[in-house]
A and B are shown apart, each in its own frame.
Chain A
Amino acid sequence: MVGQRKFGLFDLFNTIVLALVACATIIPLIYIAAISLSDTASVTQGKVWLWPKGLNFNAYSQVLNDIKIPRAYLNTIMYTALGTFINVFMTCLAAYPLSQREFVGRKYWMFLIVITMFLNPGIIPNYLIVKELGMIDSVWALVIPNAIWTFQLIILKSFFEGSSSAIREAAKVDGASDYRILFNIMLPLSKPALASIALFYFIGHWNSYFLPMIYLNTDTLYPLQVVLRQMLVFSEGSGSSAIVEAAALAPQAKKNATIVLAMIPVLLVYPFAQKYFAKGVMLGSEKG
């Protein structure tokens, strides 16, 4: 913007509105955390606001002693680690050839890939493919059918395009194979881009509940989000009158403690993700 102006009425209004926006995002999260740290009596009487009343960690020890939740947490960590690794690996394998201008059939391949962003066959055909491949009720159903997100592929391909042609020519002259060029030259040079797509895949896996819910049938395989969903459905019940009873209140602190634990990894990677995602959004809107 131009020049220095004094802080006028408009600035005051603007600052207040934006401060309210920021509060509206943050306060619900603080409230959740405050509930999870408060004693049952204060929660029941609705006394808790933005600071825990009767500070204690009972809800957290309940969560940790409930066999289901730590197991689900470990499942989520496993699925997220494996899934993110497969995602990044597959996206690299796809992006490198496509970033080479001379690659045979490049335009056809890109057309084939980009058009899938507009063709959405829906839940059922996807489910049937996974079922016919015998992946139901296994971790593979969660990590293979979405191994490449087209959007992330386009982002990585654009990044590779920025540097690769000259490097590849030079390496080729030196007799390097494409495998070596990809793994020993391109990937080490692309760490920021890889970190960025890995973060998005990570958050995607960590937060997913619908696919695990439809693909997994065994309790012991459930990830955290599915268990959290069961807690919602359970505490809310299917009827309407049963809710009023006080017994339903006790799990609230426990549920919120689970939510806090589920949010922590996302909050930890968030500052890093924030650095990258503006770039991602812009690239996507240019190319998509």
Chain B
Amino acid sequence: MPDTNIVSLPVKEKPTFKSKMARLGKRIVRDRQLLIIFLPCLLFYLLFRYGPLYGLIIAFKDYSVFRGIVDSPWVGFEYFEKFFNAPEFWQLFRNTFLLGFLTLVFSFPAPILLALLLNEVRISWFKKGVQTASYLPTFLSVVIISSMIIDFLSPTNGIVNNILNSLGFASKYFLIDPDWFRPIYIISEIWTNAGYESIVYLAAIAGISPTLYEAAKVDGASRFKMIFSVTLPSILPTVLIMLILKTGNMITIGYEKVLLLYNTMTYEVADVFSTFVYRKGLLANDYSYGAAVGLFEAFVAMALLLISNYVSKRMGGNGLW
């Protein structure tokens, strides 16, 4: 980030270090009240946002609670090697990428479609009603949503199995069936987020100039045609930005929900990096191992973000930076 703040421009000759410091000192004195107000925020970020980043060095140490972060002995990449050679590694890798990728593919178009349809509604109370309903699930806790999923899919008296029974099928225990875990997770993600995420696209649609529609109408375009030749191309930049962000977050699976929905029967498809970190790191107290896996996950996520940003720019689209 370039700094134009501290060095003031009108000075003709190159400012010396001493004069820079003097100016800085003056500004600090001038802004002393603001600095005092800002102090709690600074401490917060150093301690709770940068502190954990420093704490990540335990991934390269054999951390023990008694020695603390600083005094635990260095072990280099031992925990990373342990992870890469672990029998679960490829399963975790595959599960994380597949679940993330499938969730992206199936849930990404949902809010766009919803926004396009909402935009075509001309009865305003109906539009408002649908919006109010569809935004709501985002505000429900993941425990409540998981609880509803478990209830609805219960093999004894869940509503889904009741319907299956009345159609003459046998009851099915969806939540212990590995084939069903991904569809359940993805559908619930769409149910939770599609409404809320449509806001961004609705706002983008609202920014489209009406003259474009008028011109299309003069040319005799049908409403259906206008969606594809006016609305969609106009919101494409927004769609691309969202796609980059989502791709960057792809492997950051909603582990809070997975933890509530998976069980030993579905580990083979449901166990992902972050749930593994939780089980090894916190439940089994192997902090260094957990931190190493978490760091690996963060690196992969960062790489994905950079790659998708790069690809988007190369294709002539927008980038995040």
- Decide yes or no whether B117 CB sits under 8 A from chain A: yes
In the assembled complex, which residues on chain B have CB atoms less than 8 Å from the CB atom of A102? 31
**Count of A residues near B, CB < 8 Å?**
104
CB nearest to B141 among chain A residues: A207
The main secondary structure of chain A at its interface with chain B is: helix
Bound complex: CA of A103 vs CA of B41, how far in Å? Answer: 14
**Would you give the 0/1 interface string for A71-103, flagging 1 where the beta carbon is closer than 8 Å to chain B?**
000000000000000000010011011101011
The total of chain B residues at the interface (CB under 8 A) is 105
Q: Are A252 and B151 in contact (CB under 8 A)?
A: yes
The docked-state distance in angstroms from the alpha carbon of A112 to that of B43 is 12
Residues 1-29 of A contacting B (Cβ, < 8 Å): 1-3, 5, 8, 10-11, 14-15, 17-19, 21-22, 24-26, 28-29
Q: Which residues of B contact A256 (CB under 8 A)?
A: 151
Partner of B134, one of A25, A31, A104: A25
Dominant SS among interface residues on chain B: helix
Contact of A206 among B52, B120, B141, B263 (CB under 8 A): B141
Whether the pair B41, A148 counts as a contact (CB closer than 8 A) is yes
Q: How many Å lie between the Cα of A126 and that of B295 in the bound state? A: 12
Q: Which of A128, A209, A246 is close to B287, meaning CB atoms less than 8 Å apart?
A: A128
What is the CA–CA distance of A96 and B55 in the complex, to the nearest angstrom? 30
Q: Which of A98, A116, A178 contacts B49, CB < 8 Å?
A: A116
Partner-contacting stretch, out of B13-21, B142-150, B311-319: B142-150
The answer to whether A21 and B130 have CB atoms under 8 Å apart is: yes
Among B143, B241, B265, the residue within 8 A (CB) of A232 is: B143
Contacting pair A109 B42 (CB below 8 A):
yes
The reply to whether the CB of B243 lies closer than 8 angstroms to some CB of chain A is no
Contact of A104 among B24, B49, B295 (CB under 8 A): B24
Whether the pair A128, B264 counts as a contact (CB closer than 8 A) is no
Asked if B281 is at the interface of the complex by the 8 Å CB criterion, the answer is yes
Question: Shortest Cβ distance from B263 into chain A, in angstroms?
Answer: 7
Q: Which of B41, B48, B56, B133 has the most CB of A within 10 A?
A: B41
> In the bound complex, do residue B200 and residue A282 qualify as a contact, i.e. CB atoms below 8 Å apart?
yes
Residue from A97, A112, A214, A225 in contact with B282 in the complex, judged by beta carbons closer than 8 Å: A214
**10 closest A-B pairs (Cβ-Cβ)?**
A122-B294, A94-B41, A207-B141, A125-B55, A125-B52, A178-B33, A22-B133, A121-B52, A97-B38, A97-B34
